[in-house]
Amino acid sequence: MQDIQFSYAKAATAEAVNAYKTQVANCQEMLVKGTGAGNDFLGWVNLPEDIKPQLADIQATANLLREKCEVIVCIGIGGSYLGAKAVNEALMSSFEWLEGKKPAIVYAGQNIGEDYLFELQALLKNKRFGIISISKSGTTTEPALAFRLLKTQLEQQQGKAEAKELIVCITDAKRGALRTLATQEGYKTFVIEDNIGGRFSVLSPVGLLPIACAGFDITALVDGAARMAEVCGIDTPFEENPAAQYAAARNFLYGEQGKKVELLVNFHPKLHYVSEWWKQLYGESEGKDGKGIFPASVDFTTDLHSMGQYIQDGERHLFETVISVETPNHEVDFPHDEANLDGLNFLAGKRVDEVNKMAELGTMLAHVDGGVPNMKITLPVLNEFYLGELIYFFERACGISGYILGVNPFNQPGVEAYKKNMFALLDKPGYEEASKAIKARL
Ligand code: PA5
- Of 80, 112, 418, best ligand 1 pocket probe by most atoms within 8 Å of the beta carbon: 80
- Residue from 421, 285, 407, 301 nearest 353 by CA: 301
Q: Give yes or no for residue 140 CB within 6 A of ligand 1.
A: yes
The answer to whether residues 208 and 53 touch, using CB atoms and an 8 Å cutoff, is no
415 CA distance to ligand 1 middle (Å):
9
Give residue-wise pLDDT tens across range 350-402.
999 999 999 999 999 999 999 999 999 999 999 999 999 999 999 999 999 99
DSSP assignments along 388-401, one per residue: HHHHHHHHHHHHHH
The answer to whether residues 76 and 110 touch, using CB atoms and an 8 Å cutoff, is yes
- From CA 136, how far away is CA 308, in angstroms rounded? 39
- Determine the atom of ligand 1 nearest the C-alpha atom of 142: 15
Name the CA dihedral angle for 142, 148, 151, 156, rounded to a multiple of 10 degrees. Answer: -140
Residue 97 is predicted with a pLDDT of: 84
What is the mean predicted confidence (pLDDT) over 301-329? Answer: 97
- Determine the atom of ligand 1 nearest the C-alpha atom of 134: 13
Q: Give yes or no for residue 78 CB within 6 A of ligand 1.
A: yes
The answer to whether residues 362 and 196 touch, using CB atoms and an 8 Å cutoff, is no
Question: Could you give the 3-state DSSP secondary structure of residue 383?
Answer: coil
Q: Give yes or no for residue 201 CB within 6 A of ligand 1.
A: no
Pairing mode of beta strands 318-325, 374-379: parallel
Residue 362 is predicted with a pLDDT of: 98
Please return the burial class of 398, using the count of CB atoms within 10 Å of its CB with bins 0-12, 13-18 and 19+.
buried
Active site positions, annotated: 284, 305, 419
Q: Percent of the chain at pLDDT above 90?
A: 96
Reported confidence tier of residue 343, pLDDT bands at 50, 70, 90: very high
DSSP assignments along 98-145, one per residue: HHT-SSEEEEESS---HHHHHHHHHHHTTS-EEEEEEESSS--HHHHH
Mean pLDDT (the chain) is: 97
Residue 417 is predicted with a pLDDT of: 86
Query: Could you give the count of Cα atoms lying within 13 Å of 252 in the half-sphere of its Cβ?
Result: 23
Q: Distance of CA 246 to CAs 18, 63, 201, Å?
A: 11, 38, 21
Give residue-wise pLDDT tens across range 140-195.
999 999 999 999 999 999 999 999 999 999 999 999 999 999 999 999 999 999 99
Question: Could you give the 3-state DSSP secondary structure of residue 299?
Answer: strand
- Of 111, 137, 196, best ligand 1 pocket probe by most atoms within 8 Å of the beta carbon: 137
Instruction: Enter the DSSP assignment of 71.
Output: E
- Entry pTM: 0.97
141 CA distance to ligand 1 middle (Å):
11
- Determine the atom of ligand 1 nearest the C-alpha atom of 206: 13
First-to-last alpha carbon distance for the chain, in angstroms, is 61
Number of helices (H), then strands (E), in the chain: 19, 10
What is the mean predicted confidence (pLDDT) over 312-322? Answer: 98
Q: Give yes or no for residue 199 CB within 6 A of ligand 1.
A: yes
Q: Give yes or no for residue 80 CB within 6 A of ligand 1.
A: yes
Q: Give yes or no for residue 136 CB within 6 A of ligand 1.
A: yes
